Structure 1
Amino acid sequence: MVLRGTNQESGRPYNRRIVLEAIRLHGPIARGEIARRVGLTVQTVSTIIRELEDQEFIIGAREEPKGRGYPATALTLNPEGGFAIGASVSPIGIDVALVNLSGDIIGQQSREIANPAPELTFTEVARIASELRTLRPKGRLLGLGMAMPGPFDVEAMSFVGPTTLQGWKDVPIAERLNTVTGLPAFVGGDVASAALSERLYGAGRALQEFYYLYLGVGTGGRLVHGGQVLRGSRGNAGEIGHVPFIPDGEYCPSCGNRGCLERYLSVEAFDRRSKIVGEEGWIAEAAPLLRTAVLAIENLFDPETIIFGGLAPEGVMKKLVRAAEPLLPSVAARRERKVPRLILSITGKAALLRGAAALAFSSMMAPRIGGAGDDDPDPLMHKPNREKAA
């Protein structure tokens, strides 16, 4: 995403958020580099920096001098400058975490519930969120993000089958979360949320182009292009789990096709098949499909790398990646590669919760034009009432 400031009269809140977003994506970063990236003057950026420092969103530090003069101040987000609740609901339970601006999980609670119903989920998320808030009673809580399995808005596939949530059709999820928690609430797909987490906090931070292959209860993937997670027209881009990999293979109850990748390569498939063939047997069955999936993704999208993460046990994920070697020839098999073709992410459930919280951070802090000039009260620019919180 290209971040550019504006000279419009109503653009002060927008420019503030543009600068904050540049620091979030590229920090530690100097004022001059921010100005270059967003197209504002150094003086304007410096004024905004003072405002953001006053609001405790950012902090700055100088490196030790290595020659004449002083090095520029490197600006980063203040981890304690804001918090969000990250929640995840899946066919196997509910997870909720309090996350700071740096993506650190301050506290986390889980409940194992088979196919949790909407009202139970809302009640539990509200209860856990209330308990987690006590860990930072004086902190600025920006909102709540919830990640849930897709695909979305597909009549024959949404909320159907063992890898999706049943009974959630037509539920106003964000509105109900807002009602029970009192927080601005945002909802996204689990795969997109995990990919966003990897982009902001994981191995994808240094990359502009990568594909995130997610081994959850089901299987999915998202392409990160230009640093942004590509959604598609309905938020379902990259739904590789429902691409048939085995002609006339097993029936997929979630979509009605046969031979879908997630019937063989997913946590649900691992749980189901390992009871019959054992862990090593399942890895032997799944590794060729992972190898083929990597080939297909590379030839379709030509990413810098594929980051493989998810909810399966870390030891199983490592064995699966090793068993997939050597990878098949593709457009990515180049000698001058700077990163491996397949990278294992071991953040697991943490990536999902960080990504869910990032939905709230991104939505509340996202640059947007609006307001009535300098007198327009930007809701982002209100310090927490420390004394009241105390």
Structure 2
Amino acid sequence: MPSDLKYQNRVRILKAFRSGEDFTASDISAATGISKLTVMRAIQFFCSTGVLIMTGKGSSTDVGGKKPDCFRLMVEKNLLCITLWPGALNFALYDILGNRSCYREIPFELPTDIDEVFRKLEEYSNSFFTDNNIDRSKLYAVGLSTAGTIDYKTRRLKYSSLNPSWGSDIPVADYLKRIYGSGVEVFIENAGKMAGRSVLLNRTYINKRVLVLFTTWGVSSCLIENGHILNGKDSLIGEIGHMTLDPNDTEVCGCGCRGCFERIIEMKRVRAHIKNHPPKPDTILAKVDPDDITLSLLFDASRANDAYARDIVASLGRCFALALRNISLVYNSDVVIFQGDYSHADDVFDAALKDEASAFRYFPSEGAFETHYDTRSLFELDGRGAALALSDLYFENPELYSE
């Protein structure tokens, strides 16, 4: 990538416009520390390439004088974000600034044959484009979020323990380029990291070590270090659901091992416990068939001071504490953010988690980490994370800044 000063200044200047607001050259100069003359030259360059447009006049200074010109980012490019998860196939269209224009959720049982997966994806995608009158010529990039580990160099899905019949080293980028065109940029990401990436839109976390927990059909995570997502050479960083918590557990996980974290806390295991140790007749959960008990219902019963539900919720909190304590030995986070099902956890869960964690004497007395609970839809978080990744692809393109 070019390293000359002009190039680097252009990158910083254009980054300052990514909020989508109107700015004067003085505004950008103040925000970046780059001289007003250099800023104005860069703005003229971006106007000549159609990336920026002049939108009018700004306000005069306190001493009066000529009103300055205002400029704004003007990029008519679309970003298509696809969620390909167990039970769901979603499409969301964003502009380059991350504003969503249209969205569709489709209940979707994943086929066991990978060719059929992408045949159906193309069929639903065509319908989405047609129904929303989307101009395909403006499509800049496609992002796909799915379960499994990703090879970021080849843009292949290495393996998905939830979909073993798909095989390994699946050329996802090739499938997408066949559907959307060879000139379209493609980004493939693990579901937990795609949803976790949305945290980067909140500047509160930019300079922190953040662990984002993705909790729904399983458990995975996104580890963020000062605004950068950690992956590792085999894309295994974050696959905490396959951390062994009980090597004597009898159930074999889809990953091939026993005692995995996500197997121990899954609702199937909780329901089995309730069947084997039924609640007393006067409890909330006694009125519900164990097979119909959800994590949400469990948290609601706990909030309603159901002692039986509170015991189960506390045990889940302690299990998370054990996993987070193990993670802290290799990645000591400032903040742990829960997304998905466990984002709706109650105070009993949080207190049990922190109490259990406090037993580890290497943690500071004031607490090992902050816990935040983001209750927004995982689909929304996934889309926002995907749009950010695709927008970054656009702004990281060297051709944008070169003569």
TM bracket, shorter-chain basis = 0.7 to 0.9
Written as runs of structure 1 = structure 2, the 5 A alignment for 1:48-127 is: 48-52=42-46, 55=50, 81-116=76-111, 117-127=113-123
State the secondary structure of the residue aligned to 2:380. helix
Contact preservation (8 Å) 1:215, 1:267: no
Show structure 2 runs of 5+ residues with no match: 152-156, 275-289, 299-308
Give the match for residue 45 of structure 1. Answer: 39
TM-score (norm 2): 0.70
Counterpart of 1:342 (choices 346, 351, 371) is 371
Q: Shift in Å at residue 373 of structure 1?
A: 5.5
Show structure 1 runs of 5+ residues with no match: 375-390
Written as runs of structure 1 = structure 2, the 5 A alignment for 1:1-390 is: 6-7=3-4, 12=7, 16-21=10-15, 23-24=17-18, 30-33=27-30, 35-36=32-33, 41-52=35-46, 55=50, 81-116=76-111, 117-133=113-129, 134=132, 137=135, 140-152=138-150, 159=159, 161=161, 163-164=162-163, 166-182=165-181, 183-200=184-201, 202=202, 206-265=206-265, 275-276=290-291, 278-279=293-294, 280=298, 283-310=313-340, 312=341, 317-319=343-345, 322-326=348-352, 327=354, 328-329=357-358, 333=364, 335=366, 341-347=370-376, 348-368=378-398, 374=403
Q: Shift in Å at residue 219 of structure 1?
A: 1.1
Q: 1:188 to 1:308 in 2, by over 3 A?
A: same
Q: Shift in Å at residue 187 of structure 1?
A: 1.1
Cα offsets for 1:44-80 (capped at 9, x unmatched) = 33333344467356898999899667999998866x7
Greater mean deviation of Cα atoms: 55-64 or 185-194: 55-64
Cα offsets for 1:119-174 (capped at 9, x unmatched) = 33323433444444435549943210101112346xxx95454x346315233111
Cα offsets for 1:79-113 (capped at 9, x unmatched) = x7532000121232322211233433322222323
Greater mean deviation of Cα atoms: 91-100 or 52-61: 52-61
Q: Give me the identity figure in percent.
A: 17
Q: Shift in Å at residue 225 of structure 1?
A: 0.9
Q: Shift in Å at residue 243 of structure 1?
A: 0.8
Give the match for residue 302 of structure 2. Answer: none
Rounded Cα–Cα distance in structure 2 between residues aligned with 1:61 and 1:268: 60
Give the match for residue 283 of structure 2. Answer: none
Q: Shift in Å at residue 267 of structure 1?
A: 7.3
- How much is the aligned-residue C-alpha RMSD, in angstroms? 4.3
TM-score (norm 1): 0.72
Q: 1:138 to 1:67 in 2, by over 3 A?
A: farther
Q: 1:261 to 1:205 in 2, by over 3 A?
A: same
State the secondary structure of the residue aligned to 1:94. strand
Q: How many pairs does the alignment contain?
A: 352
Rounded Cα–Cα distance in structure 1 between residues aligned with 2:271 and 2:71: 46
Give 2:349's aligned amino acid. A
Q: Computing the radius of gyration over CA atoms, which structure comes out larger, 1 or 2?
A: 2
Rounded Cα–Cα distance in structure 2 between residues aligned with 1:24 and 1:52: 13
